[in-house]
Chain A
Amino acid sequence: MKEIILLSDLYFKQLKNNLSQINKEKVIKFLLFLFFSVIFFPLVYYLFFFIFKHFYTAQIIGPLLLKKLLYTFYMTFTVMIILSSIVAAIPVLYFSKEMDFLFSCPIKIESIFFIKYIKVIIDACWMIFMLIIPIFIAYSRVIKIDFFQYIFIVLSHIPFFIICVSVGLFLTIVLIKYFPGEGVRNVVVAIYGIFLVFFIIYFRMLQPEKITGASANEIMEFVRYLKTPDSIFFPHSHIMKIINNISYSGILAGISPFILFLSISIIFFAIIILIAKFWYFDGFAKKGVYNKRKIFIKSYELKKTSIFMAQLKKDIKYFVRDTTQWIQIVFLFGIIFIYLFNIFKLPVDLYNLREFIYFLNIGFIGLVMSAVGARLILPVISIEGRGFWIYKIIPDTIKNYILYKIIIYGSFLVGLGIFVAIISLGMLKTSLFINIITIFSTFLINFVIVGTGIGLGAYFADFKIKNPEDLITGLPGLFYMLITFLFVGLLLVAEAGIVKDYYFTRLVKVKEFHIINYLPNFILISLVAFFLFFSSLFIGIKRLEKLEI
């Protein structure tokens, strides 16, 4: 116990010192965090209030539907926490800088593990905990439960987190005992991303909008799809029992299952500490060991290529080998799939307005592609990491380096955007005019996304950060999103009048519609796009040229 208090004190002091050293960057980060929290909480609250109400007010079986929905969520949370605790545990348990020091001190392994366990539980669960707060405020309002019931429900997540994290840590200890640490982490990160995307696609394909005005048979069919495995061996079954008891029978009815759940979590905790006592150090001592392979290098033939192809090959290899990059692709296709599915499932009664809806969807494509660009394009320069110095000393210019990135990533993103637009236009069978406007707009939007993403990515390039995706959540991401969203808005404003006139002309047929009359609008928006593209690249190139490494 004395060791745990000593170690806790050490980490607490580090945290205190870190917090007390206030600098500009920390203040900006805190303000950004505050800003996003202010947006995040009401957004989650209203989203879930809408979903819960939509389900709860379904005829006859509303409460059952809501329970089924929560079961699905908790099953997802269980998998998410287990996977994210593995992702969080590997660096905390095996790759922290202080680990060698801690293991060289006369401290029991279980004491070190205990402290690390607390860190992992915070790292793996804080986001879900932050989600749970607004979700259950929405739930309380729909079900009409009081404040104490709400607090009890929120607190009953503690054993849920302990059990899920303990399972995650058990898997981590076993996996690291037999496989290299970084490799395990990369694979789990990939599985985590793929799982999330498939869950979102699965939920969308359930078509929850069908509940409104559905027949009893259709609702039963929906419930059948929401079926989740239910057993006393699953933590989500226990927490759901507690939530249901508290919600529908009062606080007293929740106490007994809560005590049972808490006891199980304590047992899990004790077991994982015991396992760690015997296996944790074994894994630590072997972490990251790779088997060396011998090759007959003398027969190696240089595959001669241009500088551009050499960079392309390097970027592709990096992409394939960095599993965090695969997730971008999975997310990308997930988003595109949902978008196309929405178009495909456009209600029949809106069919006559399909072209107008599609025009609005240009904006939606823009927002989706902006999000894709933020994940895929913004970090491409920072991804080079500390090896970027090589580009500064080779006999080539930074301008060319940026040009290669534009060709590699730009052609991919613009091509993808236009491909998605063509597929959806084909589904909607829109007129030639709308087809042209859509392709033109999609090209311009992606053009701006590529220029702004690479330009700002270069301007804010940080080769020392561990995860270049941090750019997305920081100032660079904010600027990028602001610029691309504003451009999408401006584009819609510039084209709205044209589309409106086109429809009125077709509907009323009072005057001829000549696209040539609207040429100034197209020229103006194209000029804005060119300005954003080139100005972003200009500041990015200048910054990289002057960058001191």
Chain B
Amino acid sequence: MGKSVYLIENLRFSYKENHFELSVEKLEIEPGTIISMLGPNGSGKTTFLLLLGLIFPPSQGQIMVYGENPWTSAEKVLERRRELVLVPYPSYMFKGSVFDNLCFGLKIRGVPEKEWKSRVGEALEMVDLSGFEEVLASELSSGQAQRLALARALVIKPRVLLFDEPTASIDSNRVSTIEGLITEVNQKQGATIIFSTHNFSQGFRLADQVIYLSNGKITEYGHENYFSGKAETDGKISWLEPKKGVKIFFPGVYQGRVTCAIKPNQIELLPYEQKKMISGPNLFFGRVTRLEMADNDIALIRVSGQLNFRVNLRIEELAMKKVSLSREILVRFAPEVVEVIK
């Protein structure tokens, strides 16, 4: 494996206008990986993407890109910026046609004009917009504009693609196309892809690694279950209500906004028939909506119901726990396994 795409150390960034601060102690991103960035609104996802896209420099610390700090000269920043492309959300279309928009990145990189047509056609095909070359970009719907923004980045064939909420305005029947595209670009072009999303399922499904941001800090880095909300306490035990009437209990005294993390292998699945025999905190019911076999004899299960959970189970336990697709199931975990992130 070559040099890390990013090596971030003691990064700090704050805006002059408010008290928000993004801080990342250490993070290394290997080439060819897909990273998803999850977290509530205002947690710093977009700011982090802008820093990764070298749009502005960090206030402190450094971001090494392919082994060097680009912020030592304007030329280096520009050189590195041309290897990585950020697709902001909401996307902006330049005045002119779809073709003009797609050519912008090629033109500024000095790509020969004879290549433009074929590369534009290829990129448009990837996002299901073939034949739109002459259409005015201002006439596109928001979903089409977002797909065009993706194509405008793809046409450049960068080494790193940074997407801010790539499927936010895309209609539901095309989301899978974009998701497929992310995987395809990663596999065929070997591009490193970092994207932010509010869709936990999407974040975990597509990514090799997941970054969870909360209040400007990376709180976790892995496949976890996260729930955020306002914690309440009776002085002994605390709980939060991510959904009305559904409480997650955890030990300790907490008040105010918190995020809870529960590891998928610490969640127990029980046959739904045992519902009347079991009681206690953190018992939920749902239905198995996804069942995938991982390489290491582990089944990756998604349970959707009162709350949505990701659960890891050994394959041989599937039959014992009566776990199969679409089947109703009970989910339980001890309050002690709930990790609270303030």
Q: Do A and B bind each other?
A: no
Which B residues are within 8 Å of any A CB, using their own CB?
none
